[in-house]
Amino acid sequence: MLTPFYISTDHNGQTFRSQVLELLPRYIEVVEQLAERFDARLVRLHDIFQRQLQYRDADTFCPEPVHPNQAGHLVIAQALMDTLSA
């Protein structure tokens, strides 16, 4: 299972993006619970992208926070491969 992600570091509190980032943990928690319930492997995409954003701008991975470009899809593919081969 893949956690939902939002490729943004906007924690302003006043913007739509920061509001989405505030709500996202609730959705991630549901996916984590489902993965545990069904004994499924879990790829924590939001955490992975947040780590990437420490080194690169969001534009590197997406034109907007929920639609990755080729680089963003490469991050997802690598995370999926790492999880499935572990």
As given in the structure block, the two tokens for residue 5 are 């992600």
Q: Model confidence over 12-57: pLDDT tens digits?
A: 878 999 999 999 999 999 999 999 999 999 999 999 999 999 999 9
Whole-model pTM: value is 0.92
What pLDDT does 13 receive? 79
